[in-house]
Structure 1
Amino acid sequence: MAGVATVLKPRGVACASSSHRLSLCFVFVLLLGIPSAHSQLEKLYVSETDLNILVDDTHLMKLIQIGQYNESLQVTANIQHPDIVQFVPQTIDIPGSKEPNTTVKITYDICAYAKSPGHSEVTFNVTPAGYVNMDSVFLRITVMHSHAINVISYIMGWIYFAAWSVSFYPQIYINFKRKSVVGLNFDFLALNIMGFTMYSLFNCGLYFSKEIQSEYFARHPRGLNPVQLNDVFFSLHAAFATLITITQCFIYEREDQRVSTTGRSILGVFTAVVIVAAGVGAAGKLAWLDFLYYCSYIKLSITLIKYVPQAYMNYKRKSTVGWSIGNIFLDFVGGSLSILQMALNAYNYNDWISFFGDATKFGLGLFSLVFDIFFILQHYVFYREGKEFVRVNSSDEGSELSSSSEGREFFVLVDDWHADEKKYDLDVKA
């Protein structure tokens, strides 16, 4: 036994070492096995994610498989509303292979049959679990009565977008032509700029910020971004046009008009809400998506109240001079087409819940139309004579009157040293 060294270990140590090696082997085998089961993650998907189809039509799409599996699989479509759409087949069998080819591409046909108008989502399950993950694979299906109605709705959308965008300029033109903003309520302007600033924040945040988009899709994994590029353009353009109008208030005649105490108080409350919410968001206690939602709520609140000061001012003055009726007509056209588009879409997709169920959108649209009609009545019925105040001195009254438009009626404020300012109702003719 010379030259042979025998090392003896305690029995417990030997067992522990053996157990440790077995554990390592088990983990190693497990790690080797995981790729064979999960290396095909997200290798199954459908050829499209959004499908528009007419009632009673069929549409052929494909389930695409990248790579083979070492076991047979079954892919089953889970249809949210089977009464709206039907898949043939609803379950697809994928055969396994003893020698899987990891790069081969295999397709399977799926026929979608539209049974009735509406919206439905489709997700997919794979059995047995663990071989492929289709949690992120889904299909949004819209079944409609008519493609023509869909096109008309699309055109209407662009028309009311254009009408609302142009609606700011008649007021700007009238102010420029008169060199005066008398008759335009400053509370309305102040609320408008606040509202469109909040609307711009909401749209720009959701459209440009990847972080906020991630928050949105985390809450709505199968949703679409509700803000499109035209929404961003409209809100920024509206804020810009309102700023032009506000600038005119500092340049042109405005008499003693100013933002009222009530208006300043309302704006102060809204500003405080924004500052507090932004501070909480900066501290990480409030998601920025929720901050944007607060901004949108402020915009909705302003839409409800912003026309009230102007309507009351017209009532007190018994005149709409200085307030552009062109703005109202364009707003009325835009609002009417917006509601009509909602009605067409509700019929086309049999989705009347979205028409009446979205009380905020429908209510705000209807509320704006009611105010538009009221302004039209003020302009053409209640105060149709269009009286305007012009200040002249008694010494040059004739020259002031001779420059006035023919056939118009003015209230002339005559400055005379014999008395304080008095109002004379005169028919002014050239």
Structure 2
Amino acid sequence: MEYKLLYSVLEVFVLGISLGEARIQVSTNDLDVLVGDSSTFHLSWKDAESPVVVEFSIDHSDLIHLDPVHVKLDPNQNVSVAVYGDVAGHAVVSSNIIPHVDGANDVFVRVTVQHSYAIYYTSIVVGWIYFLAWSISFYPQVYMNWKRKSVVGLNFDFLALNLMGFVLYSLFNGGLYWIRDVENEYLERNPKGLNPVQINDIVFSLHACFATCVTVAQCFIYERAGQTVSKVAGGIIVICALFLGISLIIAIVEVITWLTFLYFCSYVKLATTLIKYVPQAYMNYRRKSTVGWSIGNIFLDFTGGTLSMLQMILNSYNYNDWASIFGDPTKFGLGLFSVAFDILFMIQHYILYRDQQEYIEINGDNIPVPKEDLPEPVLS
């Protein structure tokens, strides 16, 4: 049989299976193999007095094949099993142990078949670059506010919605990563899956909260020309708070699980991501100026969003998993939505409002002031 030039990463998740003190063990939790070649993991039957037979089944047998497809394990014997990747994609190898042992169904192998090592490592590099771009993107605005000693031009609705979104994102990530009961509940719902929250998600969300709080603090220190959070944004925040408050109560009384509550937090975060840029874009349009709104922030956000979508495309091709984009378009759509607004902000900054004006508040109205008439420290 001929094979395309691919390789697979095999993640083996095996819970110890005991019959008295007897248990089945697998030699490694991670196994890389090129399609057309093979790599090996080992099964061992420890502290046993009688043999067992392990039969493997594959949910997508067109993607991978094993040799052998079943093994007999004598007491304290070690047996090798080769895994071959045939087509890019994801497959799960389940096991049936004879005679039956309680918990035997928890012994499984999750296989990810990839096209190439180059794409895999490129995806990792792209992921770290967009992580850094998004992390740094908060600071051009912080620096601009400090330099101007003013937050005029920074929309407070955007800031409030952004802060709420990152707080909820941190709650979701922290709950799923640090709270063992919540993680166990997720794994019960997805018994052959991985915890989707990794340490870089925790670091990013907590850092985003910190940086946004710094920007909020600047709004209390520097000139803001009477800017406040609008009634519309305030109403949205109140509605979200009521929804999550009720959800929290029914989670406490165990009507819903804590994992479900955290999912509700993530849904509100996604909703705020969809709307948070609108107030700033409208404010720039109304003022006919982007003064006070950092273009450096936009460039970094654009870089992060573009690379995030690029990574999704690379992974989809490498794993032949286009359903992750077209079957569940939320993450890709949010990235595309953010990039579209970044492009709009660039158009506003460099094309529509090139002759920018600063604004001051007089009797409650924003009055444009030509650049040449402004004090030098006010300009960015």
Q: TM-score, normalised by structure 1?
A: 0.79
Q: What is the Cα-based RMSD across aligned positions, in Å?
A: 2.3
Q: Does 1:225 align with 2:204?
A: no
The 3-state SS of whatever aligns with 1:119 is strand
The residue aligned with 1:77 is 56
Q: 3-state SS of the aligned residue for 1:135?
A: helix
Aligned 1:160-309 pairs, distance under 5 A: 160-309=130-279
User: Corresponding residue for 2:5?
Assistant: none
Rounded Cα–Cα distance in structure 2 between residues aligned with 1:366 and 1:182: 28
Equivalent-residue separation in structure 1 for 2:250 and 2:113 (angstroms): 43
Identify which range, 254-263 or 43-52, moves more after superposition: 43-52
Q: Give the direction of change, closer, same or farther, for the CA distance of 1:377–1:421 in structure 2 (3 Å limit).
A: closer
How far apart are residue 49 of structure 1 and its match? 3.6
Query: For residues 228 and 329 of structure 2, what CA distance do their matches in structure 1 show?
Result: 34
Structure 2 residue 105 is matched with structure 1 residue 105: no
2:257 aligned partner, one-letter code: A
> Equivalents in 1 of 2:355, 2:64: separation in Å?
60
The correspondence for 1:143, drawn from 113, 116, 135, is 113
Check whether the contact 2:360–2:367 (CA below 8 A) recurs between aligned residues: no
Q: 2:337 aligns with which of 363, 367, 380?
A: 367
Q: Which has the larger radius of gyration?
A: 1
Structure 1 residues 235 and 315, CA gap change in structure 2 (3 angstroms):
same
| Number of equivalenced pairs | 357
Select which of 98, 105, 110 maps to 1:127: 98
Listed as ranges, the gaps of 5+ residues in structure 2 are 1-17
Helix, strand or coil: the match of 2:100?
coil
Distance 2:33 2:306 in 1: 28
Q: Which residue of 2 aligns with 1:66?
A: 46
Q: Is the 8 A contact 2:225 2:360 kept in 1?
A: no
Matched residue, 1:116: 87
Q: Deviations over 1:171-190 (max 9, x none)?
A: 00000000011111000011
2: CA distance between counterparts of 1:241 and 1:255? 22
- SS of 1:75's equivalent in the other structure is strand
Instruction: Give the direction of change, closer, same or farther, for the CA distance of 1:270–1:374 in structure 2 (3 Å limit).
Output: same
How much has 1:155 moved relative to structure 2?
0.9
Q: What letter corresponds to residue 181 of structure 1 in structure 2? A: V
- SS of 2:61's partner is coil
Q: Is the 8 A contact 1:52 1:142 kept in 2?
A: no
Aligned with 1:91 (options 67, 70, 75): 70
Q: CA deviation digits over 1:75-112, x for unaligned, max 9? A: 111112111111011011345xxxxxxxx521111111
Distance 1:151 1:84 in 2: 22
Q: Deviations over 1:305-350 (max 9, x none)?
A: 0000000000000000000010010000000000000111111111
TM-score calculated relative to the size of structure 2? 0.89
Does residue 325 of the first structure (1) align with residue 304 of the second (2)?
A: no
Higher relative contact order (CA 8 A, sep 6+): 2
SS in 1 for 2:106: coil
Alpha-carbon distance in 1 for matches of 2:202, 2:323: 27
Decide whether the 8 Å contact of 1:53 with 1:144 is kept in 2: no
1:222 and 1:126 map into 2 onto residues whose CA distance is 18
Compare 139-148 and 171-180 and name the one that shifted more. Answer: 139-148
Query: Aligned pair in 2 of structure 1 residues 52, 351: CA closer, same or farther (>3 Å)?
Result: farther
Please give the alpha-carbon distance, in whole angstroms, between the structure 2 residues aligned to 1:276 and 1:422: 43
Give the 3 Å change call, closer, same or farther, for CA 234–170 of structure 1 in structure 2: same
Task: Determine the C-alpha separation between the residues in 2 that align with 1:232 and 1:155.
Answer: 19
SS at structure 2 position matched to 1:93: strand
CA shift, 1:74, in A, is 2.4
1:367 aligns to what SS in structure 2? helix
Rounded to whole Å, the distance in 1 between the matches of 2:46 and 2:344 is 63
**Could you list the per-position Cα deviations for residues 132-169 of structure 1 after superposition, in whole angstroms to 9, with x for gaps in the alignment?**
75222111111111111111100111110000000000
Kept in 1, the 8 Å contact 2:357–2:371? The answer is no
Quote how far apart the aligned CAs of 1:129 are: 2.6
Structure 2 residue identity aligned to 1:129: H
